[in-house]
Amino acid sequence: MKTGKGLKEKALVLTFLLSFSVISPLMAAETQEPLTLNQIVDTAMKNNPAVVESQKRRDEKAARIPAATAWPDPKLGIMKDDIPNNNLNPFDAMMTEYSLTQEIMNPAKLKAMGKMAASDARMAEANFLDKKVEVYTAAKQAYYDLLYATRALEIGKENQQLMGQLVQIAQINYSTGMVPLQDTLRAQTEFSKMTTDLLAMASMEAVTKAKLNTAMGRGADAVLTVKEEFNAPPPNFDLTALQKTALETKPAVLGMKYQVDMAQNGIDLAKKQTLPDYEFQIAYKDRKQTEMETQPDTWKVGFMVMLPIWQGKNQSQIKAAAANKDAAQASLTNMQNMTALDIQMALVDAQTAWRQIDLYKNTIVPQAEQTYQAGIVSYTNGKVDFMAVLDSLNALRNAKLDYYKARINYEKAAANLEKAVGKPLFTGGTLP
């Protein structure tokens, strides 16, 4: 009896210590208002450094469009001529020439360069939208990882409470001589192992919180509590419609199309390099008047044409631009094929997880609960051994975890489907 009482007291102490060590770090967080999935996604879209960087890259490319079509800056010159060779003083020069020179690029070239810059800016815009989709998905994935870690910890605590009851039953059966001392010791050992498992689960929850905070652009150790939400509807999507939508509107695909356009503009620009550029100059000659020299001041106007006579160089540029366009077209085709494949794979994953949810909810978990309850009754009456009950307890825990994991997997698969399509398909976050 003393042995049974001592084990019971030890179990109670371990339960208290476990509850304090696992729950107390979370007490401060519990006072915070839980964030909804929409709030998490919106925060990530605004504050994630990768999104901010991509946005600034887009703004940079857009600001470069006017510069691409602008004329070169004019050149202002001052030249001193006829300086006496005995002092080399420029102020003693007999003539001072003031000139203004303007290079004039062929308008057809400027137009082609403007088109290239515009395509580059559209690529940057598409990359920005694609980065937002990526961060949108990453935030949702991190959110559901946190939900699973939190739920695993809760199920672990529930399982340990059931184990504590099993310890008490083992003590009672031992005290009445129904089971050997080995059952009681084994039950206590399993209880202690669960304590270690729960501490590991608490650490995993802390890590997933840090990842979600990072996705939101916050400090990894920022206080965070979330509201549990499962927003994805049943996977009754039309695969063909999703693929068509993605090929028309997905930012990554659009970015590749703009890259092809830019490459085509590169060909046009290379061909226009055979056109001449121009240079215009106007100058004023200020002559120093002397007794011996009385020539008047004069003006000078000049016009030059840069002749592209090295056709070998021009043909090489055209050939290189054509190869670049072919490479861009191949990349676009590959992106379109991979997009269609990603959508199909994500939809299959979502449908599989959906069927698993139904199986666990309506069959596996109820059966595991019934098996455990029947095992407890049989063990209390001495009809089964301890290991049978322990197996049923572990099976119940695993069934609950697997059921919740299936729900998480479905939401994550739905998020991957949104990423593959390139936009949100249901509630739980919007791309502004």
DSSP 230-259: --PPPS---HHHHHHHHHHH-HHHHHHHHH
For 82: left if phi > 0, alpha if psi spans -120 to 50, otherwise beta; the answer is left
> What mean pLDDT do residues 293-312 have?
82
Q: Is the pLDDT of residue 40 over 90?
A: yes
Total Cβ atoms within 10 A of residue 238: 10
Domains and CATH numbers, the chain: 2-70+105-273+308-421 (1.20.1600.10)
Tell me the per-residue pLDDT of 360-383, one tens digit each, with 9 for 90 and over. 999 999 999 999 888 888 877 778
pLDDT at 127 over 70: yes
| pLDDT tens-place string over residues 161-214 | 877 877 787 777 777 776 667 777 777 787 788 788 888 889 999 999 999 999
pLDDT of residue 29 exceeding 60: no
CA neighbor of 159 nearest in space, from 399, 425, 351, 350: 399
CB contact set of 236 (below 8 Å; sequence gap of 6+): none
How many Cβ atoms sit within 10 Å of the Cβ of residue 150? Answer: 21
User: Three-state DSSP class for 208?
Assistant: helix
d(CA 239, CA 417): 11
76's tokens = 């202002």
Number of neighbours of residue 229 by Cβ within 10 angstroms: 17
